[in-house]
């Protein structure tokens, strides 16, 4: 193993750690959309994912954390930034520490929520309000089509420009 490989494993080898899980969730969204995420992740980029004219803010949460827990975590997603087209909430749903595996796509659920749907003063959303308002969640295989469905909601000029590959 090279020094760089050793460093990367040491620094971010545990996918249950919050920072790493968040970056992994962004990578999963890129993968679902068939996008090249680039050579390196820019942690403080304005947008987590850009898909033509659609911009996405990706947030992740999990019941099981990288530390010892008395019980599964309470799920809440922050919704502070308001410039993206939509939020993609990514939940690692397995709550058994012995079975949780972030690399197992069947253990993830996703919600795609247009930013305009949130009240401007809202700062977070819990799991139960998310489910009540936006459904039980999507499987990884459904994610791309739900994000693609955001296109018709864009203004006509923006949609035409995006389809031609032009900036909006």
- Domain CATH for 63: 3.40.1350
Structure pTM?
Answer: 0.84
Q: Residue 54 corresponds to which tokens in the numbers above?
A: 């659609």
- The pLDDT assigned to 80 comes to 83
What pLDDT does residue 25 have?
94
Has residue 40 got a pLDDT over 80? Answer: no
Residue 113 lies in a domain: yes
DSSP SS3 for 61: strand
Residue 136 domain-assigned? yes
Q: What are phi and psi of 56, to 5 degrees?
A: -130, 135
The candidate with the shortest Cα–Cα distance to 63, out of 29, 41, 91, 104, is 91
Q: CA 152 to CA 114: how far, in whole Å? A: 12
For residue 160, pLDDT beyond 60: no
* Residue 111 to residue 87: CA distance in whole angstroms: 8
- Whether the predicted pLDDT of 47 surpasses 50: yes
Domain span at residue 20 reads 3-163
Does position 161 have pLDDT exceeding 70, yes or no? no
Higher-confidence residue of 13 and 61: namely 61
pLDDT at 143 over 90: yes
Total structural domains in the chain? 1
- pLDDT over 90, % of the chain: 60
Average pLDDT over all residues of the chain: 86
- Residue count (the chain): 168
pLDDT of 128 > 90? The answer is: yes
Q: How confident is the model at residue 142 (pLDDT cuts 50, 70, 90)?
A: very high
User: 168 lies in a domain?
Assistant: no
- Mean pLDDT value of segment 17-34: 91
At 43 the pLDDT is 75
Residue 159 has pLDDT above 70, yes or no: no
């Amino acid at each position: 193993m090279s020094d760089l490989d050793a460093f990367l494993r040491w620094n971010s080898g545990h996918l249950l750690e919050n920072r790493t899980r968040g970056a992994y969730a962004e990578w999963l969204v890129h993968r679902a959309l068939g996008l090249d995420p680039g050579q390196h992740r820019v942690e403080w980029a304005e947008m987590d994912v850009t898909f033509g004219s659609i911009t996405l803010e990706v947030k992740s949460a999990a019941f099981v954390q990288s530390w010892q827990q008395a019980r599964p975590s309470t799920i809440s997603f922050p919704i502070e930034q308001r410039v993206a087209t939509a939020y993609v909430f990514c939940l690692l749903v397995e709550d058994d520490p012995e079975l949780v595996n972030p690399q197992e796509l069947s253990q993830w659920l996703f919600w795609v929520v247009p930013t305009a749907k949130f009240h401007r003063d809202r700062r977070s959303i819990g799991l139960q309000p998310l489910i009540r308002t936006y459904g039980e969640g999507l499987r990884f295989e459904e994610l791309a089509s739900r994000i693609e469905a955001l296109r018709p909601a864009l203004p006509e000029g923006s949609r035409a420009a995006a389809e031609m590959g032009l900036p909006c």
